Amino acid sequence: MSRQLRLVVYGGLFTALTLLATLFLKIPTGIGYANMGDGFVLAAGALLGPFAGIPAALGSMLADLMLGYTIYAPATLVIKGLMGLLAGLFIQKAAAFSWKNLLLFAALELWMVLGYFLFECVLYGVAAALGSVVPNLLQGVVGAVLALILVPLLQKLEAHR
């Protein structure tokens, strides 16, 4: 399979996985929801490199649209797209747990928390935006842990293709 075709196929797969994990593996919070989609956003970088930004942005944004959080869609497109892009640029090849990947994922999840906090400050004001920080941090922890599990598996899969 050519590299371009592989990117398109895996891109579609990660768009769907991100969408489904965001739609169905979620916990409602005061202003929105926490979900497991971030695990697939981050893990996409292991197979797709910087191209991971596209399925990360699309899968996450589509979930916002489908769940009725339309106002969040533009912010999600940018926040999750950058997460996928940067994960793809900086992810480390690792057969097992990697401290470098943990630090990368933690930094990217902090970006997610900051991005949504700033967006919600504009929408609702600082006091209300503070209410989403803890749920977003918890989502970030879950996403980073899921990615730490998925990345070595995906890299093994890629090595055996």
What local confidence, expressed as pLDDT, does residue 90 receive? 94
For 136, how many CA atoms within 13 A lie in the half-sphere containing its CB? 23
Q: Are 108 and 73 in contact (CB under 8 A)?
A: no
Q: How far is CA 11 from the centre of its chain?
A: 13
Q: How many domains in the chain?
A: 1
Q: Which domain holds residue 67?
A: 3-155
Q: Tell me whether residue 41 is in a domain.
A: yes
pTM of the model: 0.91
126 occurs within a structural domain: yes
Nearest to 85 by CA among 104, 103, 71: 104
Radius of gyration of the chain (CA): 15
Question: Residue 106 is part of a domain; what is its CATH number?
Answer: 1.10.1760.20
161 is a domain residue: no
Structure tokens at 161: 């293709």
For residue 34, the surrounding DSSP H or E stretch is: strand 33-35
Q: Where are the alpha helices (DSSP H) in the chain?
A: 3-24, 37-48, 53-67, 73-90, 99-124, 126-130, 133-159
Asked whether residue 160 is domain-assigned, the answer is no
pLDDT digits 0-9 by tens, 62-90: 999 999 999 999 999 999 999 999 999 99
Question: 10-residue block means of pLDDT along the chain (161 residues)?
Answer: 89 97 84 84 93 98 95 98 96 80 96 98 95 91 93 80 65
